[in-house]
Chains A and B, each alone.
Chain A
Amino acid sequence: MDRRHFIGQSAAALGLLAGFSGQARANLQKAEILVIGGGYGGATAAKYLRLFSNNTAKVTLIEPNASFVSCPLSNLVIGGSRTLADLTTPYDNLSKRHGIKIIQDSVASIDADKKTVKLASGKTLRYDKAIVSPGVTLMMNSIEGLAQANQAGVTLQAWKAGPETVALHKQLAAMRDGGTFVISVPEAPYRCPPGPYERACQVANYLKHNKPKSKVLILDANQDVTSKGALFKKVWAEQYPGIVEYLPKYNVTAVDAKTKTIKFEVQDDIKADVLNLLPAMSAGEIAVKTGLANSNGRWVNVNWLNFESTAQKDIHVLGDSIQVANAMPKSGHMANQHAKVAAAAIVAELSGWEVNPAPVLTNTCYSFVNDREVVHVASVHQYNAAEKTFKPVPGAGGLSPAPSTLEGVYAWGWAHNIWADSLG
């Protein structure tokens, strides 16, 4: 080897290296990243893919709704103290401020082998990375007669905030004084563990002031209240005596729309005036259809470092659709946190870097027990490399000691900030 030869080789090696790092940057800039679903998970993922890539990644968000309506706080609309407009945020800041392409459409199918997505409108899009964040599907067939009762307008779920939320408030407002409003809770896991109990409080608060002879009956398929149990029970006893009745281990199996009768696995039938029946839930339909729901056919197993589906490469799944880790709730806050870990991991991967080996998640969840007072539950989840999962940190997190108006202010503070963090 002579000097010239050596210099030539070194130059070639340097060129190769420069090319390699340039290639990694190009991968990030060229990659087509499709985000399916613009809820707390998807919207946040789209925004943070842009932030974490210093606005270089190409991000498209596919969402059927024209604007975002928050499920958290929507129980206040059912109780009548807020309107849906209070909970609605437009999507346009994601395009105007962050350069995200927004397609208002839904996804008909995903071809994971060809890496394409077919939209309901018929168009096909190619992806290098897909983020699937479709929330939950309500399994209407899990309660006999529920689909028919829904069609007849007798039962409503209002578990995805929108027109049904307003319709359920109207049913409550139209109910006779002395009537019974039933909320049924499916077996866990389901979206928003404290949601049904908060809803019971909101309905009870309305009844207390407007129809005091009426009742809220909570029919719970679970052994006990699944979240903030002691706090909710204390509120029901102290603020809504004679209005809220809680019945655990009541598993609804059927409903008769004509007679408004609910049937159970074990107990006698119950008749009610307003029937808010929540069936079992699974991952969002598109996740199940794509074969991603590899946990019991209902939820999606993911790699916790990047939220990639264990069933399909380059499809990352967030939020309520995933099979959760220990003590991890299906909440909007958690979906937002999943999204940031996934977005950072995708940016790292496309840049040729190792993904963060020690991500952290938090959860905070506020429940209104009337129109002003709130209780919370909070937790912190650190990644455990030995067990390859997130684990709640012992000694961290916890509950409110009691309902307070201060936390009522913070609950709205949380809402305004998370809406801005996800969509602003």
Chain B
Amino acid sequence: MRAKYLKPAILVSIYLGLNHWSAAAFAQNTDASNLYQRGLAATCANCHGTDGKGVVEGGMPLINNLTSEQMLTQLKAFKSGAREGTIMPQLAKGYSDEQLETIANQLGKK
């Protein structure tokens, strides 16, 4: 009786255990990773508003009318020098392409 159940029990145990742990780890990683992404996009908020919602007629160009794709194109153009500007070409060069993509995904018009 013991021996009969032992093997499947171990298998079930491994299955359940892995499944549970990976699900928990996944949930945790997703939440944590969302937080990191929000944190990265928040580096833009000083000038362009919390969550990209800038002060209307505040004097700073608004970015919340751009889709993520449009925003990424502009950020890359600032980074490469294709688009001129005052501060943005200087700031865009400080981020990796992956970081710019994250920012555009976070702040682009949904």
Contact = CB atoms under 8 A, between A and B. Distances in A.
Contact of B46 (A398, A410, A414): A414
Contacts of A376: 86-87
B55 A417 contact: yes
A359 interface: yes
A109 interface: no
Contact of A21 (B24, B60, B91): B24
B65 interface: no
Interface in B1-58: 1-2, 5-6, 9, 12-13, 16-17, 20-21, 24, 27-28, 31-32, 35-36, 38-40, 42-43, 45-50, 54-55, 58
A55 interface: no
16 contacts: A10-B17, A13-B20, A17-B20, A344-B38, A344-B39, A360-B94, A364-B47, A364-B87, A380-B94, A380-B95, A382-B94, A406-B86, A410-B87, A417-B55, A417-B60, A418-B46
A37 to B, nearest CB: 18
Given A360-B40, A417-B60, 6 more contacts: A3-B9, A351-B31, A353-B28, A360-B94, A409-B59, A416-B60
B73 interface: no
What 8 A-B pairs come out closest when comparing CB atoms? A380-B94, A413-B60, A413-B59, A396-B94, A416-B58, A353-B32, A396-B93, A393-B94
A336 B49 CA distance: 12
B79 to A, nearest CB: 9
Interface residues of A, number: 59
B45 A421 contact: yes
Interface of A: 1-3, 6, 10, 13-14, 17, 21, 47-48, 51-52, 333, 336-337, 340-341, 344, 347-348, 351-354, 356, 358-362, 364, 376, 378-382, 393, 395-398, 400, 404, 406-407, 409-414, 416-418, 420-421, 424
B80 interface: no
B70 interface: no
Contacts of B35: 52, 344, 347-348, 353, 356
A52 B38 CA distance: 8
A300 B6 CA distance: 58
Contact of A362 (B13, B17, B27, B43): B43
Interface of B: 1-2, 5-6, 9, 12-13, 16-17, 20-21, 24, 27-28, 31-32, 35-36, 38-40, 42-43, 45-50, 54-55, 58-61, 86-87, 90-95, 99
Nearest to A47: B50
A6 B94 contact: no
A48 B40 CA distance: 13
Nearest to B29: A353
Given A2-B2, A416-B58, A417-B48, A397 B43 contact: no
A417 B46 contact: yes
A13 B94 contact: no
Interface centre among B21, B31, B48, B50 (most CB of A within 10 A): B50
Contacts of B39: 52, 340-341, 344, 356, 359
A51 B42 CA distance: 11
A348 B12 CA distance: 33
A395 B79 CA distance: 11
B5 A424 contact: no
Nearest to B48: A417
B47 A414 contact: yes
Nearest to A396: B94
Interface centre among A340, A400, A411 (most CB of B within 10 A): A340
A341 B41 CA distance: 11
A413 B87 contact: no
